[in-house]
């Protein structure tokens, strides 16, 4: 894959790079995306039943079981070359801010410290009523198959059911994460948008905001997305292939 000199120069000159990721960055680790035809989670499951406060109130065991199935898949997965290349890129520019919509922990396991999590995490559940954190038992749960009902644990403080600390339909993004992500979008010289359909707002505003400011947006995605028209560079391909090659090209291009 060839990268233009102009793109490599923008990367070399950037004082602050923001990296915005979606489910596609974890696809090569075997984690399903949401909207890919046939394999996407929302292709096979109903989002309002499984990812809304109303769905959880109606059937907590169905929802908790589904999230435990997803958490199990993540615990059995490994970061892929895209996660590692993003972590390594941080050493190649003065400042890098990683913003993710993903609820897995593969960025951290690849070495990215403290990503901004816009949609929460599968790994830090909380009480559905008093919001007290709930500590999951260590290890990998023994429930690989999807769709199995599992009663959620109860909060030790108030007895209400525990829920995943993820953002559900109709819920607000965590304010501190959103503020930090917006600040990075306002300040960065260049933003990568990697493996996201850029359809879910407000998160998808971020690369659009960067483009409106006249800063560079580099998209990495095998498919067309809503962002194509805004991105200065559309690198078509799997993130696990494109990102390591780009990092290598960047390092080679340094005088």
Compute CA distances 38 → 1, 44, 51, 141, 252, whole Å. Answer: 28, 7, 19, 26, 39
Draw the binding track, 190-209, toward ligand OAD (x: CB under 6 A; -: no contact).
-----xxx-xx---------
Instruction: Please report, as residue ranges, which positions from 30 to 49 form the binding site for ligand OAD (by CB under 6 A).
Output: 33-36, 40
The site that binds ligand OAD (CB under 6 A) totals a number of residues, namely 27
Is 83 a catalytic site residue? no
In the complex, minimum distance from the CB of residue 252 to ligand OAD, in angstroms, rounded to a whole number: 23
Q: Which residue is nearest to ligand OAD (CB)?
A: 24
Of the two residues 72 and 100, which places its CB atom closer to ligand OAD in the complex?
A: 100
Task: Please identify which residue in 14, 99, 155, 167 interacts with ligand OAD, judged by CB under 6 A.
Answer: 167
Are residues 147 and 65 in contact, defined by beta-carbon separation less than 8 angstroms? yes
Counting contacts by CB under 6 A, is residue 51 touching ligand OAD? yes
Of the two residues 4 and 39, which places its CB atom closer to ligand OAD in the complex?
A: 39
Draw the binding track, 55-74, toward ligand OAD (x: CB under 6 A; -: no contact).
--------------------
Please choose, from the candidates 180, 53, 69, the residue with its C-alpha nearest in 3D space to the C-alpha of residue 126: 53
Are residues 195 and 23 in contact, defined by beta-carbon separation less than 8 angstroms? yes
Q: Which of 83, 119, 123, 124 is catalytic?
A: 119
Task: Please identify which residue in 11, 27, 185, 227 interacts with ligand OAD, judged by CB under 6 A.
Answer: 27
Helix (H) or strand (E) holding 18: strand 16-21
Half-sphere exposure of 109 (CA within 13 A, CB side): 15
Please choose, from the candidates 160, 36, 195, 181, the residue with its C-alpha nearest in 3D space to the C-alpha of residue 117: 181
* Largest distance between two CA atoms of the chain: 62
> What does the alpha-carbon distance between residue 81 and residue 47 come to, in Å, rounded to a whole number?
29
Coil vs helix vs strand at 131: coil
**Catalytic residue ranges:** 119
Summarize as ranges the residues that interact with ligand OAD (CB under 6 A): 22-24, 27-28, 33-36, 40, 51, 101, 119, 167, 195-197, 199-200, 220-223, 225, 238-240
């Amino acid at each position: 894959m060839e990268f233009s000199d102009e793109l490599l120069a923008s990367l070399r000159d950037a004082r602050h790079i923001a990296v915005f990721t979606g489910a596609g960055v974890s696809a090569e680790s075997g984690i399903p995306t949401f909207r890919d035809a046939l394999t996407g989670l929302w292709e096979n499951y109903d989002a309002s039943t499984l990812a809304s406060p109303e769905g959880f109130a109606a059937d907590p065991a169905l929802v908790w079981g589904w999230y435990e199935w997803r958490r199990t898949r993540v615990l059995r997965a490994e970061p892929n070359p895209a996660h590692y290349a993003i972590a390594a890129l941080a050493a190649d520019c003065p400042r890098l801010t990683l913003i993710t919509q993903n609820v897995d922990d593969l960025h951290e396991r690849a070495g990215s410290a403290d990503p901004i999590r816009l949609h929460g995490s599968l790994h830090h559940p909380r009480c559905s009523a008093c919001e007290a954190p709930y500590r999951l038992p260590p290890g990998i749960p023994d429930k690989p198959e999807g769709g199995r009902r599992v009663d959620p644990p109860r909060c030790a403080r108030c007895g209400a059911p525990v829920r995943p600390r993820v953002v559900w339909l109709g819920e607000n993004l965590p304010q501190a994460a959103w503020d930090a992500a917006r600040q990075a979008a306002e300040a960065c010289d260049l933003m990568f948008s990697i493996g996201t359909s850029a359809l879910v707002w407000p998160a998808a505003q971020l690369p659009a905001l960067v483009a409106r400011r006249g800063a560079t947006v580099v998209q990495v995605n095998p498919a067309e997305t809503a962002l194509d028209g805004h991105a200065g560079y559309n690198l078509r391909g799997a993130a696990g292939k494109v990102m390591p090659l780009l990092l290598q090209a960047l390092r080679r291009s340094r005088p």
